[in-house]
Amino acid sequence: MLKLGVIGTGWITKQFVAAARATNAFELTAVYSRHEESAQSFINQTAPATAYTKMDDFLGSDVDVVYIASPNSLHASQALAALDANKHVIVEKPLVATAMEFEKLDEALHKKTSLYLFEAARHVYEHNFQVVNDFTHRQQIDGATLTYMKYSSKYDAFLAGKLPNVFNPEFAGGALMDLGIYLVYDAVAWFGVPDNAVYLPHFLKSGVDGDGVARLDYGDFSVTLITGKTTNSSLPSEIYSGRQTLTMDNAAELVTIKLDDQVLSTEKLANPMEAEAAYFAKAITGQDRNAFDKAWQLAKEVHQVMSILRTSANLDF
Ligand SMILES: NC(=O)c1ccc[n+]([C@@H]2O[C@H](COP(=O)([O-])OP(=O)(O)OC[C@H]3O[C@@H](n4cnc5c(N)ncnc54)[C@H](OP(=O)(O)O)[C@@H]3O)[C@@H](O)[C@H]2O)c1
């Protein structure tokens, strides 16, 4: 059983802990929060564990794996500290806010080859993601349009004059970092690293992108990514192959995959984080270096593209 410690006590951490416990490979043993009450309340709502408000004590505990779901700009430094304390790490997307942060993590992992670090890009581990992957690696591709736009639960507060972390440039917020990254994962896994990429954002007054469109150039075809946090879109996503079109109801929440009128796969997950939790547990307990290398290489390519997209839009964190 892997001892799990968590950083951040928001709803996503609760969902991950539920998924991790459902695999029967993790037990929650430590919860870090800036506030004792938040840590205790989290424990009361999830499972018995020790509450910590000092990071050194938390990282000095006997946890095997640290899951990080703090604001984006804290991910890299907290992951580095966890590696330094000889813990495996699972970090919420986006793993890093800059290319330099990725390099530092890469270097740290080269020095600690027995430790694994995973970016929790949950949909990549789902069955339907593989269904699409099988299609794109078998068929000629002539282009794609991938969409993920959701009205943020924090947007009303932003409109009322508050500055939630996800809309704050100091915490590396914005649509590309929060939702666009799912689409970049899609594109890189399904089509590879593009020759060129540009991002055209619409900026909010805080300085982050509220929505935007990215164009990824693959030479023979191009892929359009549409993302946003200020409106809801029910546009399906499409991958074009000659006369055939593969359709997904949503490029980051892959429920139904169709090839023209034929349903290839349909899957509604009760907890969409279970597949990733199972993958991480299997890789860590089985010391499966290939499983880690595969995920790390994909993350590396995704963050190269993310960096190009940010640079093209002057989105510097
Ligand atoms: N995979 C998914 O489906 C999914 C869904 C949602 C979010 N996420 C990712 O999860 C991460 C957290 O998202 P969120 O919406 O929960 O973020 P958040 O509410 O801004 O912060 C998450 C936690 O971080 C701590 N925190 C908040 N502000 C902080 C600050 N100024 N300094 C230090 N710690 C602070 C808080 O925990 P304490 O008060 O206990 O310290 C809070 O519960 C993000 O990276 C996001 O992209 C992933």
- Which ligand 1 atom is nearest residue 74's CA? 33
pLDDT of residue 67: 99
**CA–CA dist 64, 59 (Å, integer):** 10
What per-residue string of b and e applies to 55-94 under the rule 16 or more CB within 10 Å gives b?
Answer: eeebbebebbbbbbbbbbbbbbebbbbbbebebbbbbbbb
CA–centroid distance for 276 within its chain: 11
**CA–CA dist 268, 59 (Å, integer):** 36
Distance 12 CA to ligand 1 centre (A): 8
Lining residues, ligand 1, CB within 6 Å: 8-10, 12, 33-35, 38, 69-72, 74, 92-93, 120, 122, 165-166, 178
pLDDT of residue 22: 97
Is the pLDDT reported for residue 291 higher than 90?
yes
Residue owning the nearest CA to atom 30 of ligand 1 = 71
Whether 33 contacts 42, CB under 8 Å: yes
Pocket test of ligand 1: the residue of 6, 11, 12, 254 to mutate, having most ligand atoms within 8 Å of its CB, is 12
Pocket test of ligand 1: the residue of 32, 40, 70, 317 to mutate, having most ligand atoms within 8 Å of its CB, is 70
Residue owning the nearest CA to atom 6 of ligand 1 = 12
**Domain 128-266+303-312 CATH class label:** alpha beta
Q: Which of 315, 313, 304 is nearest to 198 (CA)?
A: 313
Is the pLDDT reported for residue 184 higher than 90?
yes
Whether 31 contacts 51, CB under 8 Å: yes
**The domains spanning 2-119 and 128-266+303-312 adopt the same CATH topology:** no
Taking residues 41-62, what's their average pLDDT? 98
**CA–CA dist 71, 93 (Å, integer):** 10
pLDDT of residue 24: 97
Which 3 state secondary structure label does DSSP give 183?
Answer: helix
pLDDT digits (tens, 9 = 90+) for 261-281: 999 999 988 999 999 999 999
CA–centroid distance for 256 within its chain: 21
Pairing mode of beta strands 196-203, 2-7: unpaired
In the chain, domain spans: 2-119, 128-266+303-312
Residue owning the nearest CA to atom 11 of ligand 1 = 69
The conformation of residue 315, written as its DSSP 8-state character, comes to: -
**CA–CA dist 50, 40 (Å, integer):** 8
Pocket test of ligand 1: the residue of 92, 118, 166 to mutate, having most ligand atoms within 8 Å of its CB, is 92
Tokens standing for 157? Answer: 């507060």
Alpha-carbon distance values, 236 to 248, 257, 258 (Å)? 6, 10, 11
Residues 6+ apart with CB under 8 A from 21: 27, 28, 47
pLDDT digits (tens, 9 = 90+) for 63-95: 999 999 999 999 999 999 999 999 999 999 999
pLDDT digits (tens, 9 = 90+) for 211-239: 999 999 999 999 999 999 999 999 999 99
Distance 137 CA to ligand 1 centre (A): 35
Pairing mode of beta strands 88-92, 65-68: parallel
Task: Give the rounded percent of residues in the chain with a pLDDT score beyond 90.
Answer: 99
Distance 75 CA to ligand 1 centre (A): 10
Distance 10 CA to ligand 1 centre (A): 6
- Which ligand 1 atom is nearest residue 154's CA? 15
**CA–CA dist 275, 19 (Å, integer):** 8
What per-residue string of b and e applies to 277-293 under the rule 16 or more CB within 10 Å gives b?
Answer: bbbbbebbeeeeeebbe
**Domain 2-119 CATH class label:** alpha beta
In the block, tokens 């794996």 appear at: 65
Burial label for 247, CB within 10 Å (0-12, 13-18, 19+), is middle
Distance 108 CA to ligand 1 centre (A): 24
